[in-house]
Structures are given as structure tokens and as C-alpha cells.
């Protein structure tokens, strides 16, 4: 009787450990899959952002060549141009200040 009880308890313990091991492996596999997919999403977003930047540069280039007639795009390009002028003014001021200190 003691041997069968011990055998049954040991079998139950071994079955429980095997089940837990399987659960842990499944959880680890799911975590790995999720992380791999997150990495792919991050890469795809970076590719999309690069494509959007390329589109924006083409539109702005056409704007500077007078080839944009859409008022909304013209307005957006003018805003970019104004920011560039502000940047240029700041750099001119930086260079002026540096020139005074030399």
C-alpha cells in the first residue's frame, strides 16, 4: 500500500512538473513570437517613415521649382520654407557672435 501511494504521488508530481514545463515553454515561445513581431513592426514603421520623408522632399523640391499648384501643399511648403529662413537667421546670428569673440 505504501509503495502504490508513493508511486501515485511521484507520478502526480512528475505529471505536474511536466505540465508546468510545457506551460513555461509555451509562454516563452509566445513571448519570443511577440517580441519578434514587435521588432518587425518597428522596422516597418521606420521604412514607412523613410518613405514619407522621401515623398515630402519630392513635394518640397517641386514647390521650389514652382510645380505645386495645390493650395494646401503650397501652404505646407511655405511653412517649411519659413522655418528654414528662421534656421538660416539663427545660424547667421551664431556666426556673427562667434566672429565678435575671435
Sign of CA dihedral 19, 23, 26, 28: negative
Number of structural domains (the chain) is 2
Q: Could you give the CA distance from residue 8 to residue 14 in angstroms, rounded to a whole number? A: 10
Check if the beta carbon of residue 62 is closer than 8 Å to that of residue 68.
Answer: yes
Closest CA to 77 of 86, 64, 90: 64
Check if the beta carbon of residue 59 is closer than 8 Å to that of residue 68.
Answer: yes
Give 83-96 pLDDT, tens digit per residue: 999 999 999 999 99
Same domain, yes or no: 16 and 45: yes
Same domain, yes or no: 85 and 37: no
Same domain, yes or no: 3 and 47: yes
Same domain, yes or no: 48 and 37: yes
Same domain, yes or no: 60 and 45: yes
Same domain, yes or no: 80 and 55: no
Range of the domain at 24: 1-68
Give the global pTM. 0.63
Same domain, yes or no: 32 and 76: no
Asked whether the predicted pLDDT for residue 2 surpasses 60, the reply is no
Place of cell 575671435: 102
Give 42-81 pLDDT, tens digit per residue: 999 999 999 999 999 999 999 999 999 999 999 999 999 9
As given in the structure block, the three cell numbers for residue 72 are 494646401
Amino acid at each position: 500500500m505504501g509503495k502504490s501511494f508513493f508511486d501515485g504521488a511521484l507520478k502526480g508530481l512528475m505529471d505536474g512538473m511536466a505540465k508546468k514545463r510545457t506551460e513555461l515553454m509555451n509562454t516563452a515561445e509566445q513571448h519570443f513570437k511577440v517580441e519578434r513581431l514587435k521588432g518587425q513592426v518597428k522596422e516597418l514603421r521606420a521604412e514607412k517613415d523613410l518613405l514619407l520623408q522621401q515623398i515630402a522632399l519630392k513635394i518640397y523640391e517641386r514647390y521650389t521649382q514652382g510645380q505645386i499648384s495645390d493650395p494646401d501643399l503650397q501652404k505646407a511648403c511655405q511653412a517649411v520654407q519659413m522655418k528654414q529662413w528662421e534656421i538660416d537667421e539663427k545660424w547667421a546670428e551664431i556666426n556673427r557672435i562667434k566672429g565678435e569673440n575671435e
